[in-house]
Structure 1
Amino acid sequence: MRILFASSEVAPFIKTGGLADVAGSLPKALAQEGHDVKVILPLYEGIGEQWRSQMKFEQYYNVTLSWRHVYCGVFSLEQDGVTYWFVDNEYYFKRWQLYGHFDDCERFAYFSRAVIETPGHFGWAPDIIHCNDWQTALVPVYMLEERYHVPELANTKTVFTIHNIEYQGRYGDQVLEDVIGLDRSYLNEGMLGYYKDVNLMKGAIMASNFVTTVSPTYAQELRLPFYAHGLAGVINEQSGKLQGILNGIDTQLYDPAATSGLAANFSARSLVKGKAECKLALQRAVGLEENADVPIIACISRLVGHKGFSLVTDALHEIMAMNVQMVVLGTGDWQYEAAFREAQVQYPGRFSAQITYSAPLSTAIYAGADLFLMPSVSEPCGLSQMIAMRYGTVPVVRETGGLKDTVTPYNKFEGTGRGFTFSDINTHDMVWVLREAVDLYFNNKKAWRGIQKEDMTADFSWNSSARQYLEIYQRILGW
């Protein structure tokens, strides 16, 4: 099977969030199944020289975007059985950040046109084009007409994955003809029209052959207005072609037995000593009192409302009244940053506010902390809880999206479960389960070690998810 995976960011080349992790891992898993997989992404300024030096210039041509004929260069790089196509246009992609520019609609309409036109210039006919989030949402829409103009696309089917429905690519209707290059019928007949605006994600949901999202629970939540951000009606109308498939993680990358830079490597069999050394190293690194016996509660996240940080800031004094330490790593809304900085002053040696982002420090936190707190209001899948579990750090999560699908609640009667959960968006419920977790940590080490080993040996690889995607591809191709 020939699969073209289109994404606005791909790890390890460029990353701002979980989309890059998925786009970096899923194609590799598909290639390992013996398929011809190519990934196409923009050649951003932020892609480093270590990758540029390995790229090969392939060709250039002009992309047609409305009345424009715009330069498009293609560089390639092969890694782990996958061919990566980098779309070069410095006007659109030589920017200081990936998103948030005044012309994002035009930038990613251009990229979507490049996704459509590039296969023909290589004489390569994809069976599937797999698109991701609003930045590539125009690809299925363009395909409605372009499959009749480009021979290589005649039999191509499209799959669209919603990683986070909160970001939909919504613009005023003036972009339709001049920027996107489509006539008014796409607005008037409802393909892209959304309260008199243009909604790119809506168009992808309507036009694609199949729609997936990143966890089974999130797929069900999207039927509800609370989670769907205005698209519940569209989701329910198109629900016959919607399926939730849980994301995986790169289990080789997140392996405590092999991760470089840790104070000690460890596995489920050598958990106690290695984890203790990582804990002391973390305490030294972030200014916490060195104490092997006190549990560390960790948060690694963007500090924003939908991640549930209002629950955390409202309950900070209750949490710190327990015999615990806490470390928070991330940046975001000013009120959360300020609250955590103040907590560091109020609880010296017990609370650490790391208002930054550091990949090495995040790894040290995953390895050294005891509890990982994710009280998200909405969490399509979440990768952090799976990474934390790989390092024997027990999650405390709200039952939403992928958090519900990956963290089974601890059952003290049967001795089963992967962590501690609560369902309501409620500070008191969160504090209650945190107390349960801390109590188990202090008073039942055998049960605590059992949860850690269950977490560390759980299968969070892409193997099962990749097979589910392949089944969808085969189904819509009629194979």
Structure 2
Amino acid sequence: MASVAESSFPLLCQIKSQRRVTSSTLRNSSLVRVSPPHFASGSLSFRRRSFVLGHRSEFARCVEATAPDSSGSPSGDDEQEDALQATIDKSKKVLDMQRNLLHQIAERRKLVSSIKESTPNLDDGKPSAKEDANTTTDAAKKEKMDGDANGSVTYVKSSLNKEPEATTPLKSSKQSSPSAKSPEKEKPSGVPWSSVVASSVDPPYEPSSTITSSKKTSDPVTSSGNTSKSPAGAFWSDPLPSYLTKTPATPSIKTEEYMETKEEKIHEEASSDTNEPSKDEEKPPPLAGANVMNVILVAAECAPFSKTGGLGDVAGALPKALARRGHRVMVVVPRYAEYEEAKDVGVRKRYKVAGQDMEVMYFHAYIDGVDFVFIDSPVFRHLSGNIYGGNRLDILKRMVLFCKAAVEVPWYVPCGGVCYGDGNLAFIANDWHTALLPVYLKAYYRDHGLMKYTRSVLVIHNIAHQGRGPVDDFSYVDLPGHYLDSFKLYDPVGGEHFNIFAAGLKAADRVLTVSHGYSWEVKTLEGGWGLHNIINENNWKFRGIVNGIDTKEWNPKFDIHLRSDGYTNYSLETLDVGKPQCKAALQKELGLPVRPDVPLIGFIGRLDQQKGVDLIAEAVPWMMSQDVQLVMLGTGRPDLEEVLRRMEHQYRDKARGWVGFSVKTAHRITAGADVLLMPSRFEPCGLNQLYAMKYGTVPVVHAVGGLRDTVQQFDPYSETGLGWTFDSAEAGKLIHALGNCLLTYREYKESWEGLQRRGMTQDLSWDNAAEKYEEVLVAAKYQW
């Protein structure tokens, strides 16, 4: 307990030091050498004084001496009086310091009490933070002063009981305030990179079951004499030289707007809807403990704002799972449209891309405990229908701008009034679109002694897309010349070329894939798509983690997209009623005949050869002959988009093709379809099959990558399995597996219901995956 008190109140160390000096003086003084039993009238007397320090603790003090020594020598009397006076003076100083400490404790308690009183009590039946503080403030143990055999005084050190930390989560940004703020100082002109040191930023105050202090990555900020009071409402951040921007960031002035938005979110979450999961159904995962970090996930898409495939779902769900474990988490994505939740934070920066200055603006939203930061620029606008549209150079320029702006977000974008800084920070980049981020982090910061303890993790969602081009494309990425070799890759067919994914794999501290099976496939010649040698050379930092799903968004019992237009929410208990109703509503919405006896087959995904859309096109004539209905949703290659249009035109009563992407329609197809097709030639993980099983829709998949890991073949004899699989990317194999599926649907209703129920009862949440991601981040942090 003493160590806790010393760490919380540094002045205690000084007081204890003064006590030791006082005790030593008393022992050395001749006045206390007289044995206590021989004290008579006029001899040395002792009096105890009790001092209360927050709780009851006793400090004995020698305060009076009334008689001279029996020797009567004048010189001895003077020495004794001087020694006694020195002891009394030192005791007074100690008492003054203790009074100052009491005042400091009282001030801190007032601050903590005001914070706790302003915390909204979101959980009914639970005591508030203020009540917790009152009930846990007990009196400290009383300690006694003992005299030794020689009459010397021994002071027993008192300990302060540590007050339990409040467990009520603070979601209001008003409670996020740094303990000390240093004024921003501009980098003097002419200073070399190596001489510039950036101060680390302490994370904002967020009570949790444990409180950890981030390790400082730069010189500490001196708090005495060097701090200046910030104006009200102004954001602050530590200075960091920007090597990517052309102009300094404009500080934000929209604190009040952010506070109001965040308070509205708190009130919305506090007033729980009847259709939302109850507290009993949502069990919080264990907290991260001592490994709490600042995590920034950077991706080209993020559900529900922008999504074309599984990457958007991962970017939308994984950060929430990490935040539930106690981490401070941010998601950085381009702003493709005007999102209602996102507010302009007032920060403007300029970056040079291909010799042209481009300005970006930053928008912010706080949702489900996660900071969402949107980077706005004219090059991102009006791309919501096809976010990967444009020619090769246009896409490359967009990604260069995005990565340059994203790597500086923790320094210039205040979230809750405080920037993330580089303290205990880890970036999670996703696919080739953000593979430049680990390279920029290394080239512009770590190579110059800045952000030395910031780590980067690169996640491979689809290794087939690599950001390839001619070697001349290196001139667009704005990097020192010696980095060219990191981008060069030799292709036996195309020769030497420029490859962004290759450079990202080399620069990242850790590399992940989204399933165990895919982590093995990318190391092979067939599955590595030319990068297998680099992956095998960096095998030590490689790992596979199976994705989960956001069970709050993807849950038929609480799905907000099933509350209108004839759809309905359903669960395992109401499956036999709710799912047929959703099927009828989907048929009606799509303009198909409402026939409950006809199997409704769905496909959701990117229109790409990798997804096996061409195999479905080959199998369409056979499917239409089997009296089924087919609906396909997706966007991608123009020729495959045309396949969907022709299919709908040819089979108007049986097929529908939706070119584009709609989150609401994806949810409704998942709920209303009986079967989901995923004939992917390769699939790193796949999420649609997980969504389908959660909604009681049976998947038919090609047994590759994550599909093999998550969908087990149905066995009619043992009544086990979750769907049907086929082992070769051929239309004939797809037709064979789908034929068995349709036979079971029509002839074996009990087996079909068993497939649905087994899929719905699986634990597919992100909490398990988030724990494994945390292990990787910690390993990267300590370079295990």
Per the normalisation by structure 1, the TM-score is 0.90
For 1:130, the aligned partner's letter is I
The residue number in structure 2 matching 1:183 is: 480
User: Which of 544, 552, 564 in structure 2 is aligned with 1:252?
Assistant: 552
SS in structure 2 opposite 1:225?
Answer: coil
Between stretches 435-444 and 304-313, larger displacement belongs to 304-313
User: Which of 346, 359, 364 in structure 2 is aligned with 1:76?
Assistant: 364
Shift of 1:363: 2.4
User: Which of 19, 37, 43 in structure 1 is aligned with 2:329?
Assistant: 37
SS in structure 2 opposite 1:466?
Answer: helix
Over 3 Å counting, the alpha-carbon distance change for 1:117 and 1:353 in structure 2 is closer
Q: Distance in 1 between matches of 2:476 and 2:547?
A: 33
Over 3 Å counting, the alpha-carbon distance change for 1:194 and 1:247 in structure 2 is same
The answer to whether structure 1 residue 392 and structure 2 residue 682 are counterparts is no
Q: Distance in 2 between matches of 1:379 and 1:296?
A: 23
The residue number in structure 2 matching 1:223 is: 523
Shift of 1:340: 4.8
Is contact 2:304-2:663 (8 Å) kept?
no
Q: Distance in 1 between matches of 2:369 and 2:332?
A: 14
The residue number in structure 1 matching 2:68 is: none
Q: Distance in 2 between matches of 1:79 and 1:151?
A: 34
The residue number in structure 1 matching 2:753 is: 449
Gaps of 5+ in 1: none
The residue number in structure 2 matching 1:172 is: 470
User: Which of 76, 84, 93 in structure 1 is aligned with 2:380?
Assistant: 93
After superposition, give the CA deviation of every residue in 1:129-188 in whole Å (9 maximum; x if it has no partner): 111112221121222233347776121111001111122112332332x4222233222x
SS in structure 2 opposite 1:153?
Answer: coil
Shift of 1:382: 1.8
After superposition, give the CA deviation of every residue in 1:313-370 in whole Å (9 maximum; x if it has no partner): 2222322333433222334456555555555565553333444544333322211111
After superposition, give the CA deviation of every residue in 1:182-229 in whole Å (9 maximum; x if it has no partner): 233222xx4211233321110011111110111221211112333322
Over 3 Å counting, the alpha-carbon distance change for 1:60 and 1:335 in structure 2 is closer
Q: Distance in 2 between matches of 1:352 and 1:403?
A: 25
User: Which of 408, 421, 434 in structure 2 is aligned with 1:124?
Assistant: 421
The residue number in structure 2 matching 1:5 is: 297
The residue number in structure 1 matching 2:398 is: 107
Q: Distance in 2 between matches of 1:133 and 1:281?
A: 37
SS in structure 1 opposite 2:364?
Answer: strand
For 2:739, the aligned partner's letter is R
Q: Distance in 1 between matches of 2:447 and 2:539?
A: 30
Larger Rg computed on CA atoms: 2
Between stretches 430-439 and 138-147, larger displacement belongs to 138-147
Superposition pairs for residues 289-368 of structure 1, below 5 Å?
A: 289-333=593-637, 336-337=640-641, 339-344=643-648, 347-368=651-672
User: Which of 544, 553, 570 in structure 2 is aligned with 1:266?
Assistant: 570
- If asked which structure has higher relative contact order (CA below 8 Å, sep 6+), I would say 1
SS in structure 2 opposite 1:379?
Answer: coil
Q: Distance in 2 between matches of 1:312 and 1:291?
A: 23
Shift of 1:411: 1.5
Shift of 1:49: 4.4
The residue number in structure 1 matching 2:221 is: none
Over 3 Å counting, the alpha-carbon distance change for 1:40 and 1:363 in structure 2 is closer
Between stretches 102-111 and 399-408, larger displacement belongs to 102-111
Q: Distance in 1 between matches of 2:452 and 2:671?
A: 49
Shift of 1:397: 0.5
Is contact 2:523-2:536 (8 Å) kept?
yes
Between stretches 394-403 and 121-130, larger displacement belongs to 121-130
Is contact 1:254-1:387 (8 Å) kept?
yes
Q: Distance in 1 between matches of 2:638 and 2:301?
A: 26
Q: Distance in 1 between matches of 2:377 and 2:552?
A: 34
SS in structure 2 opposite 1:4?
Answer: strand
For 2:366, the aligned partner's letter is E
Over 3 Å counting, the alpha-carbon distance change for 1:62 and 1:245 in structure 2 is same
Gaps of 5+ in 2: 1-292, 413-418, 491-495
Between stretches 268-277 and 328-337, larger displacement belongs to 328-337
For 1:124, the aligned partner's letter is G
For 1:198, the aligned partner's letter is F
The residue number in structure 1 matching 2:505 is: 205
SS in structure 1 opposite 2:465?
Answer: coil
Over 3 Å counting, the alpha-carbon distance change for 1:319 and 1:68 in structure 2 is closer
For 1:30, the aligned partner's letter is L
Q: Distance in 2 between matches of 1:124 and 1:76?
A: 16
For 1:428, the aligned partner's letter is G
The residue number in structure 1 matching 2:306 is: 14
Shift of 1:86: 2.9
The answer to whether structure 1 residue 424 and structure 2 residue 725 are counterparts is no
Q: Distance in 2 between matches of 1:349 and 1:65?
A: 50
Q: Distance in 2 between matches of 1:396 and 1:15?
A: 23
Q: Distance in 2 between matches of 1:346 and 1:105?
A: 38
Q: State the percentage of identical aligned residues.
A: 36
SS in structure 2 opposite 1:224?
Answer: coil
Q: Distance in 1 between matches of 2:670 and 2:323?
A: 29
SS in structure 2 opposite 1:447?
Answer: helix
Shift of 1:295: 1.6
Over 3 Å counting, the alpha-carbon distance change for 1:4 and 1:456 in structure 2 is same
For 2:479, the aligned partner's letter is L
Shift of 1:300: 2.1
SS in structure 1 opposite 2:631?
Answer: strand
Is contact 1:120-1:152 (8 Å) kept?
no
SS in structure 1 opposite 2:408?
Answer: helix
Over 3 Å counting, the alpha-carbon distance change for 1:131 and 1:319 in structure 2 is same
Q: How many residues align?
A: 471
Over 3 Å counting, the alpha-carbon distance change for 1:477 and 1:278 in structure 2 is same
Superposition pairs for residues 146-165 of structure 1, below 5 Å?
A: 146-148=444-446, 153-165=451-463
Q: Distance in 2 between matches of 1:74 and 1:352?
A: 39
The residue number in structure 1 matching 2:443 is: 145
C-alpha RMSD over aligned residues? 2.6
For 1:135, the aligned partner's letter is H
The residue number in structure 1 matching 2:341 is: 51
